[in-house]
Each structure stands twice: as structure tokens, then as C-alpha cells.
Amino acid sequence: MKKRKKIPVWKPKKLLVQKKLKIETKQRSVNKKQYDYKWREVSKTFRKNNPFCCDCLKSGEYNSKNLHVDHIIPLVEKPELKYEVSNLQSLCRKHHSMKTFKETLAKKKPT
């Protein structure tokens, strides 16, 4: 039997995926002003010293994934406590989102 020759198969080169353009929104520009270099350094140091989510620890879990540094008293209420360590807590993304949602919902609800 004769050996068959391999026929070259065309394979497309990897396509370059363009990054999505970030749309500059009003909220994004406000956040850029609020969270500056000093805040990033404070946040980084705080996460290093407090490596677990406070809410997860209460339920007995040691969660150190996707940590956010949260202001216990929101910046909207007391902006002077921005860098105050006693006003900070480590929260995972899930708990931080829940807390932020409750805060914004409470702000929108008329009393």
C-alpha cells in the first residue's frame, strides 16, 4: 500500500482581540478623584494586614479571594474618615456588593 501524503490544512492565526474601550462616565471620573495614589497604598497595606473578609470570618470561613477595603461609615456621610484605619474593613466582593447595595437602596428610599 502506498503511503498517503499529508495535505496541509490551513489554520487561522490567532485573532487579536481588541480591549473594550472604557467609557468615561460621570461616576468613573468621581471615583478617580476619590481613590488616588494615597488611597491605593492605604488599601494595599490594609489588605495585607487584614487578609480575610470580616463577614465570612463571622460565619467561620477564611475567605481571602477578591478582597475589597470598605469604609464602615460611607465616604458620602463622613469624607474626613477616608484614610482612618478604624473606619476600614476587609470584605470579599460578594459581601461588599451586598453592603453597597443596601447603602444605596437606603439612600434612595424616602423615610
Please indicate whether residue 1 or residue 3 has the higher confidence score (pLDDT).
Answer: 3
**Domain-by-domain residue ranges, the chain?**
38-108
The predicted pLDDT at position 41 comes to: 93
pLDDT at 21 over 60: no
Query: What values do phi and psi take at 78, rounded to 5?
Result: -140, 85
Give the 3-state secondary structure of residue 46: helix
Of 23, 68, 18, 78, nearest in space to 44 by CA: 68
Residues 83 and 71 sit within 8 Å (Cβ to Cβ): no
Instruction: Report how far residue 59's alpha carbon sits from residue 88's, in angstroms, rounded to the nearest whole number.
Output: 19
Dihedral of alpha carbons 23, 72, 59, 48, sign: positive
Q: What is the pTM of this model?
A: 0.66
Better-scored residue on pLDDT, 56 or 105: 56
For residues 58 and 46, give the distance between their C-alpha atoms in angstroms, rounded to a whole number: 19
